[in-house]
Amino acid sequence: MAGVVVALLACAGFAACTAAAETPAPAPTAETETTKPLPATGAIDAGTYVVYGFTAPFEVTVPDGWESFGWGVLKDWEVFVNFLSPGYVPTDACAWQNALVAVDPSPEAFVAAMTAQASTETTPPVEVVMGDYSGFEFDYSVENGININDCGKEHVCLWSEQATDCTRGYSMVTERETERVLDLNGELALFAVGEFQSVTDELTEEARAVFDSIEFVREE
């Protein structure tokens, strides 16, 4: 089951232009016998899972070989798809300690903070629509020349869910991702697909397919 993502400006993102908008997707449905809640941790079978915890539940479909790690799914610690709710963005991703700044829970405010962040690079955001929700999508990576050993606690901090410490960071400068941030009725929700390290094109495409499978559930 592929989620439909409408890029209103241009095609962008991790394995750009591989989104499954090429074929019509079935209308979102409430949870059925073929879907089940995503486990908190551990290996998961291929199939479609429902994720709760946001104001709007959504489904994600994974092939064989993936596992859940509490705030997303990953394969072999090489590629991942995660879903979180950021509240703070450091002004400098490397010198992030004591530099976490609260952001308004809106896609516009989050995108502005991320594009202004020092020590990292972002592509121009494109507008996206997922079901009833709208927001932005952009690529994110570490700026060339950054030495991870010079950064706070030897990692780059993307953003955080708390004001006192970083909850989303990179331990290697080669990590990268595509972020899609949405307004869920006033709640800021972030979905990301990325690499812990350089991987094959096939694995990149597989991760993007999982990312594009995310589809909001319309409960009846």
pLDDT in tens, 56-68: 999 999 999 999 9
pLDDT range class, residue 52, cuts 50, 70, 90: very high
pLDDT at 122: 97
pLDDT tens string 31-43: 445 689 999 999 9
How high does pLDDT run on average in the chain?
A: 86
* Predicted local confidence at residue 197, as pLDDT: 86
Residue 138 has pLDDT above 90, yes or no: yes
Residue 1 has pLDDT above 90, yes or no: no
* pLDDT score, position 29: 40
Tens-digit pLDDT profile for residues 192-220: 999 998 899 999 999 999 999 999 987 65
Look up tokens 């991790």; give the residue.
Answer: 14
Confidence grade of residue 9 (pLDDT, cut at 50, 70, 90) = very low
